[in-house]
Structure 1
Amino acid sequence: MELLLQRAEEKQIDTIMDIYERCREELEQQGLLQWGDGYPSRDYFIREMEAGSLYVLLADGVLAGCVTLNEWQSPEWEDISWKYDDEWVVHAYFLDPEYQGQGLGSAFLGECESLAASKGYKSIRLDAYGRNKGANVLYEKSGYEYRGSIRFTSRPEGHQEYHCYEKRL
């Protein structure tokens, strides 16, 4: 399968929203309240696209995933003992449920890492919903190191813990 990571275009926003909604529904069916009503949203994706930070993964020319890559870090991350500097940060990373379970999650991360390295970044940081075992296993199998946990108090009680990860490129 040919994979291509490229900046998102305005004409892709509806497809991005469709994939995001299907991902969110699948997670909620598993009892995982990973994303709230306000994040990510259509407005979020449009803002990130306009900023040049929204990327899509094309698998054989079909939009299969989406991610925001930039330098912004959540204030909740301030107490994490990060090991590396010169980092790029992964936000709102998701893969179409139709493509999950085929090894594309790690390939998608690899594309993000290659792009980060080509831009001169030395590491990647991200957080993952603590109860999303699939995501946490994916990051750890992909060489990301657990750095600690944070709480997003804006999330419902019992759904606030997120694990922070980092990988040296």
Structure 2
Amino acid sequence: MASTRNAREDDVDVLAEIGFRAWEKAMETIGEMADMRTSARDAFVNFTRSSWLTITVVEHFGSITGWAAREHLDEVISDFWIDPEYQGQGFGKLLLADVEAEIVHQGFEKARLETHAQNNEAIGFFERHGYVIHWLSVAYSPKIDRDVQSVGLSKQLVEKPSEDYGREF
């Protein structure tokens, strides 16, 4: 049985490893990532250790299968990682619904996130759950010595009142 919960400090090493494995899978489309592996792993360790209070985990029979973070506790989902061995089994859907509910509970009407433009699996996942691409940008990455495209996606979580409401025709 799958469920979500807030991360605990003793989860950080597992969270870092899941994030790193999911990152590796997502970055396969870019290629030539061998030289970034160490810094990426370190970044996941540092982030999960310093920001575990902003992380929501999804678990299955007590084992963590993925996690999401809202680093600044705003409407931005800064991280969303499902362990590759558990992808496509509904854990991402459950986790996303929980994170979106928390965003609404905290008074935000929209959720936002970004990913690299070649991460078709993630983009497709979010689009299937109501997200729309709103922007594309290109930035040079010195670590891989090339331009990397990113996309920004968002989803309206709270319906805005119709502008025709109350108007007489």
Note whether the superposition's TM-score is higher than 0.5: yes
Matches within 5 A, 1:83-122: 88-122=75-109
1:153 to 140, 144, 152: 140
- Which residue is 1:3 aligned to? 3
CA shift at 1:115, angstroms? 1.4
Structure 1 CA distance for aligned equivalents of residues 134 and 112 of structure 2: 10
SS, match of residue 165 in structure 1:
strand
- Which residue is 1:77 aligned to? none
- Which residue is 1:17 aligned to? 16
CA shift at 1:28, angstroms? 4.4
TM-score scaled by structure 2?
0.76
Aligned-pair Cα RMSD in Å: 2.3
Alignment length (residue pairs)? 150
- Which residue is 1:67 aligned to? 68
Structure 1 CA distance for aligned equivalents of residues 115 and 24 of structure 2: 17
Structure 1 CA distance for aligned equivalents of residues 84 and 20 of structure 2: 10
The superposition leaves residues 97-156 of structure 1 with CA deviations (integer Å, 9 ceiling, x where unpaired) of 121011222222111111111222211100021111110001111001110112343363
SS, match of residue 89 in structure 1:
coil
Structure 2 CA distance for aligned equivalents of residues 92 and 112 of structure 1: 11
CA shift at 1:43, angstroms? 1.1
Q: Are residues 20 and 71 of structure 1, via their aligned partners in 2, closer, same or farther at CA, if it must alter by over 3 Å?
A: closer
Structure 1 CA distance for aligned equivalents of residues 26 and 130 of structure 2: 24
Q: Are residues 2 and 103 of structure 1, via their aligned partners in 2, closer, same or farther at CA, if it must alter by over 3 Å?
A: closer
SS, match of residue 140 in structure 2:
coil
CA shift at 1:159, angstroms? 5.7
Q: Is the 8 A contact 1:70 1:88 kept in 2?
A: no
Structure 1 CA distance for aligned equivalents of residues 123 and 145 of structure 2: 20
AA in 2 matched with 1:45: T
Q: Which moved more, 1:136-145 or 1:117-126?
A: 117-126
The superposition leaves residues 29-60 of structure 1 with CA deviations (integer Å, 9 ceiling, x where unpaired) of 55455xx52574211221212xx212222233
CA shift at 1:157, angstroms? 4.7
SS, match of residue 76 in structure 2:
strand
Q: Gapped runs of 5+ residues in structure 2? A: 158-169
Which is higher, the Rg of structure 1 or of structure 2? 2
Structure 1 CA distance for aligned equivalents of residues 136 and 30 of structure 2: 20
- Which residue is 2:112 aligned to? 125
Of all paired residues, the percent bearing the same amino acid is 22
